[in-house]
Structure 1
């Protein structure tokens, strides 16, 4: 693979008619920065009109995962000093997510290892999404005071039944079979076969990556969300977070009570804003409309106590004991939730206007 120097945060290259993107911050679990987003976007724009490129594949450097999400340490520092930088990062990132979803050439993502937050954004909107036995996929934003973004509420709102609501509120990690069930991935390939799959991708002359993956695809190890559908659908179909938690606690399945305990550790404000966002996303027709909504929510979160506190507890100090404000669901008002739908001071994202 011809590529730029190893110091580059994203390596770009070509093998035959296959263009390759490699997220190259393995020590940071390939967390996305704004320069990385811009490199990816520029490469995709260039390859879109290059007749010698038939398809694109994205992978992550190192052994731990494709991408752990956006660089939330940078968001933390920005939020503490006025929040001037993060809206620009999110604007670029969400428009990249829209580009990936509408890309006119096959776009494959190797979702091996950790794939969370922004990592879902650069993979799950692709046309060929591959998971392995090492895949760990999640949208954990409610644990840091955010609403799932990068098109996450679009994807999760379209998962079967209330599976997406369950994943969005708890931030639960899913493995290969459950990622496929929820519509976050398409194919399971054992990690030991990935080198052969890469060779097959590189040998394609037509760009038909789905045909290339078929000889390596296998049934994924069994997940557990399908068996949990009865309690998940029954509990998460409630209209409010309080009702959802009540149903989970009253349900006889131990997994429901475990889910309730997890939900109650998340930011109360983020939980209510997330439920509202998911219900709205179900009614919106396009990914771009949902990205516009998520941009409003992310910019609103930037001005909250919970975003800084959540990142502090989970990533900076790692004490895992955030002190939310309001501290409980009862303290979150309708006005608090409505702020997540307000147009940001810097203006709207406008993704729907570009589509």
Structure 2
């Protein structure tokens, strides 16, 4: 392999270990080998006293990571192979490892950060957004359901903001990411080179004090007057009806967005986010998401959604079933059915932490 073409660049400088997702032409979309490289580096650095801080960035100018390689996932679904399941198993284990990492894990969420990109950044202990950040879990648009711990993160957002983002897949900027708990700090994009260099020499706390600035104004807080009451409804049908009749133009736009999404994915996502709120630690939610992801792999909407949005790009998916009314409660329940003892993803909580303590509540070193 030619130097510099590795899918993840791994290096150390001073007190920091740097991980750079390096598929810029694919907007750094994650593959199984990339997940394995990240996991191996994190494992090695956890035991290396010379590495005091881990820093994650993305190559190129467009963003950190657009998500998992959905073309490969759809190909696995069409062929009926185990490749997608193996990828998700490794990816979700990595997400859990990031959340429990014993050293500061600084994720630079600059530009586009979607799906799997949220998984490798949103569980970190120090999550930095910029004015260029566009952070989203857009899975319902391809007939899938938020995963990589996305239902955990969105389930903890204030009010019903997380459910709005989960169902519509709408992207948010820095201020709204801070409001929803998807990021911790805003740093201007122009300051990132200095911040990355400083992390090699100084503790994270000192570096943040130098570079963190107030984020540009967001939008979501002003929309809570319609988001919270509309998304508090029991069903997707009622949510849609409330959005349509509320009167706020943005509520009507959200209803139009939902009308274009996979009906099955919408109903399963609603259940997944609400179940995630009750499950406790991230590991239990990832285990649930693994069941849901494998169910989506068997459903025709995933392949059709990827075809319409990514392969043919006609933006005209033919969902099956085509309407919310045709998706039954039994259809939704099947997405959460146990996989059997040999198929389940089982993730132990952090050692000595059975309650699932969230490391983000601890200040960075």
Residue 216 (structure 1) aligned with residue 211 (structure 2) = yes
Residue 17 of structure 2 corresponds to 19
Residue 319 (structure 1) aligned with residue 321 (structure 2) = no
Once residues 92 and 131 of structure 1 are traced to their aligned partners in structure 2, the CA distance between those partners, rounded to angstroms, is: 26
Deviation readout 1:163-208 (Å, 9 max, x if unpaired) = 000000000010111011100001111111111111111112xxx3
> 1:353: Cα distance to partner?
6.6
- Residue pairs, 1:159-308, within 5 angstroms: 159-204=157-202, 208-308=203-303
> 1:95: Cα distance to partner?
0.4
Once residues 145 and 199 of structure 1 are traced to their aligned partners in structure 2, the CA distance between those partners, rounded to angstroms, is: 41
Once residues 116 and 207 of structure 2 are traced to their aligned partners in structure 1, the CA distance between those partners, rounded to angstroms, is: 27
- Residue pairs, 1:43-82, within 5 angstroms: 43-82=41-80
Residue 128 of structure 1 corresponds to 126
SS of residue matched to 2:260 = coil
Give unmatched runs, 5+ long, in structure 1: none
Q: 1:347 aligns with which of 343, 348, 357?
A: 343
Q: 2:32 aligns with which of 31, 34, 46?
A: 34
Residue 141 of structure 1 corresponds to 139
Once residues 85 and 91 of structure 1 are traced to their aligned partners in structure 2, the CA distance between those partners, rounded to angstroms, is: 10
> 1:211: Cα distance to partner?
2.7
Residue 104 of structure 1 corresponds to 102
Contact 2:106 2:128 in 1 (8 A): yes
SS of residue matched to 2:200 = helix
Once residues 36 and 148 of structure 2 are traced to their aligned partners in structure 1, the CA distance between those partners, rounded to angstroms, is: 15
Give unmatched runs, 5+ long, in structure 2: 352-365
Contact 1:128 1:210 in 2 (8 A): no
SS of residue matched to 2:322 = coil
Contact 2:100 2:350 in 1 (8 A): no
Q: 2:328 aligns with which of 320, 324, 333?
A: 333
Deviation readout 1:302-338 (Å, 9 max, x if unpaired) = 0001000001001001111100000000000112111
Once residues 285 and 135 of structure 1 are traced to their aligned partners in structure 2, the CA distance between those partners, rounded to angstroms, is: 28
Q: Which segments of structure 1 move beyond 6 Å, counting only runs of 4 or more? A: none
Q: Provide the TM-score with structure 1 as the length reference.
A: 0.96
Pick closer, same or farther for the CA change 1:243–1:352 going to 2, 3 Å: farther
> 1:354: Cα distance to partner?
7.6
Deviation readout 1:121-168 (Å, 9 max, x if unpaired) = 000100110111111100001111111000000000000000000000
SS of residue matched to 1:202 = coil
Contact 2:149 2:285 in 1 (8 A): yes
Contact 1:83 1:302 in 2 (8 A): no
Contact 1:292 1:352 in 2 (8 A): no
> 1:350: Cα distance to partner?
0.5
Residue 7 of structure 2 corresponds to 9
Once residues 209 and 148 of structure 1 are traced to their aligned partners in structure 2, the CA distance between those partners, rounded to angstroms, is: 30
Once residues 9 and 291 of structure 1 are traced to their aligned partners in structure 2, the CA distance between those partners, rounded to angstroms, is: 25
